[in-house]
Amino acid sequence: MAPQLLPSTSSKSIFHCKCKPQSNPRLITTTTFKQTLAHKTIRSSSTDTAASPSDRSSPLDSIKPYVQSQWRPIVAGWACSAVSVFSLSLMVPKIGKLSSAAAAMSPVRVREEAVVLGALAAVRLVASYWQQAFVWDAALNAVCRIRVYVFERVLERDLGFFEGGGGGRVSGGDIAYRITAEASDVADTVHALLNTIVPSILQLLAMATQMLVISPVLSLISALVIPLMAFATAYLGEKLRKISKDANLSIAALSAYLNEVLPSILFVKANNAEFSEGARFRWLANADLSRQLKKKKMKALVPQIVQIVYFGALLIFCVGSLVVLGGSCDCCGMVSFITSLVFLIEPIQLFGTGLPPTITPCHRRPLSDAGEPVRPLPDLRRALSAPPWSIPTLITQGVGKAYNEFKQGEPAIERLFDLTRFQCKVNCFGLTRLGVIGVIETPDAITLDRVTGDVIFCGILFKYHDDMPPVLNGLDLHVKAGETVAIVGPSGGGKTTLVKLLLRLYDPLRGSILIDNHNIQNIRLQSLRRHVGLVSQDVTLFSGTVAENIGYRDLMSQIDMERVKLAARTANADEFIESLPEQYATDIGPRGSILSGGQKQRLAIARAVYQNSSILILDEATSALDSRSEQLVRQAVQRLMEDRTVIVIAHRLETVLMAERVFLLDDGKLRELKHSAVLGGKHDTLTSAGIVIY
């Protein structure tokens, strides 16, 4: 079923698709600082893959199924290329005859040959246009499918991948860079392949045949020059592939850094850290500059090597002149031969660029005022104003670039598919190609239609890394259905870890968690997380309408507006929602930027009410609010807790006292505290337990 979402007046809704200057600036760029940033650069681009290097498929094998799925436009493009090459093979002798007629001063013959030649040229131009259109259609559609697949696989990854579990964390900025910019590199690579496999081979064969028919001697000389160029291009292309991979890593590190710093600009300014952050960025930018220069220098070397072809062409001209003077080949044949040679080099030029000469990869093009890549017009003035003797040089300038484009795309393919090579430590759901959710669970996994809310933690042992002490060590807890318990404890004591285990974002190393006497490892994740709701202290809102954020669980089906409004009233959110310009259809901006802190928290509570889970995890969300906002949020929380099993990660004494039982989590174990002990506790004792008194 297609998503049926609420209308939004904003096109930006993601649901609709959906430091003080120092006297010596160099002091900050110390060796330690550089090493730290270098380590960060490497970490930001590493991946946590389950597959060993020997298990990884080649870049071509990775993209093969997606390219094959576009066989219709590929076949259509190749058919157009066959028409283009056929018309070209007819044009070559006509060009020789036209030159012969012009030399003989025969206007009638010139006119006849020119008309036929013009018709053939028109056919070739139209066929070539549709060839490129079909090939780009196939390449871009294939890459779109790859993007979707990679993002779905990223969503399937364990939480530990994003939090640094196992030391393999990849930053959000790096992931975004791979799925956007590097996927564009993959599109260029796919186009280069499709444009080489059939069109270029057909043209090479047709022109080589023409040359052999006209003059075997000149063809033999040409055959000695072109393979030399091909071998040089292949050698340099492999070197360029390795250099391009390093360059991609450096630009990804820059992107990751910007994604980290720019959203935290308030914190940066509040700490006078503009200078230090500028120095950090300057170091990363210089590292990227070094790698990009190395890449560009290698690319600049290729055309110089290819100039050998120019001297080979001169040799052919010289030998051809001798052949003509010797009488073994007439002027008409010589012109046809040179024309064939020019069009023989053309597919090698395309193989070197991977693109038509007038097209530049989209991520390397200048942007228009609207932010769209500008497609440059053909550089006709340069070609038309060039002297005749420089035409071979212009042609051979691009020789070998196509292979280089392909080699530059290989690291992008590898880094893109590195995100997909893993095995979940927690059995998780997978998104199928059609967008239908298919759960990957144990064969006996069950779906719970109804949950009373009885939760039991039995002997839980958990630690994030093998070389770290346990966060939870033999933890036991029984929360009865409909009961509210508060978990208190010092920061870093494992309270949030307990939440993650109940949501099965991680699995314990030992012990089990039961809901209504069912081990959660035997419950389908969709079912488990439908019955366990979370209201976090760090409110998460998305760019979209108020209704879309409240009814987040039903985005791909049909949001029930009556439930949305009821949830808003329950959470005391209807008051400010009604004052918004478009009420429930108002776009709240990125991360709810138009809302205050209290409004965001009430919206998050409304979302939990809409979800209507039997078990609620509440990470106390009343800190840093003014008294009125705190009162409204606290009333909303009390309504939300009614008739539910509630586990509260408590920070305030008022919240602790709302619970029927209170537990102190310390040293990986729980210890129950009596209400009288909490009420009569000394300030230092309560503070050490993580309870804040106001």
Phi, psi of 515 (to 5 degrees): -120, 120
What confidence score (pLDDT) does residue 17 get?
43
- Mark out the alpha helices in 425-488 (DSSP H runs): none
Nearest CA to 174 out of 39, 372, 42, 18 is that of 42
Do 260 and 332 lie in one domain? The reply is yes
In a domain, 658, yes or no: yes
Give dist(CA 549, CA 551) in Å, integer: 6
**Domain final residue, candidates 385, 404, 419:** 419
Specify the CATH number for the domain of residue 150.
Answer: 1.20.1560.10
Non-local (6+) Cβ contacts of 371 within 8 A are none
What confidence score (pLDDT) does residue 383 get?
35
Tokens of 550: 């409240």
Do 350 and 485 lie in one domain? The reply is no
In a domain, 547, yes or no: yes
Bridge partners for 478 per DSSP: 456
What confidence score (pLDDT) does residue 326 get?
57
Domain span including residue 627: 480-495+530-689
In a domain, 238, yes or no: yes
- Mean per-residue pLDDT pooled into runs of 10, the chain (694 residues): 38 42 35 39 40 55 79 86 79 67 67 76 83 84 82 74 61 73 76 72 69 68 64 68 74 71 58 65 77 75 62 59 55 61 58 38 36 35 35 37 60 70 55 36 77 85 79 84 83 79 83 86 82 78 79 75 82 80 79 76 81 80 56 71 80 74 81 68 50 45
Do 414 and 535 lie in one domain? The reply is no
In a domain, 523, yes or no: no
Do 415 and 485 lie in one domain? The reply is no
In a domain, 11, yes or no: no
Specify the CATH number for the domain of residue 603.
Answer: 3.40.50.300
Q: How many domains does the chain have?
A: 2
Contact 306, 300 (CB under 8 A): no
Non-local (6+) Cβ contacts of 129 within 8 A are none
Phi, psi of 473 (to 5 degrees): -135, 95
State the SS3 of 363-380: HHCCECCCCCECCCCCCH
- Whole-angstrom CA distances from 285 to 21, 38, 250, 258, 473 are 20, 12, 8, 11, 45
In a domain, 465, yes or no: no
> SS3 of 451, please?
coil
With b for 16 or more beta-carbon neighbours within 10 A and e for fewer, the 369-400 pattern comes to eeeeeeeeeeeeeeeeeeeeeeebbebbbbbb
**Domain final residue, candidates 404, 419, 434:** 419
What confidence score (pLDDT) does residue 604 get?
81
> SS3 of 118, please?
helix
- Mark out the alpha helices in 327-400 (DSSP H runs): 331-353, 380-385, 391-397
- Could you please report the per-residue DSSP string of 538-567? S----SSBHHHHHTGGGTTSB--HHHHHHH
H or E stretch at 486: strand 484-488
In a domain, 3, yes or no: no
In a domain, 349, yes or no: yes
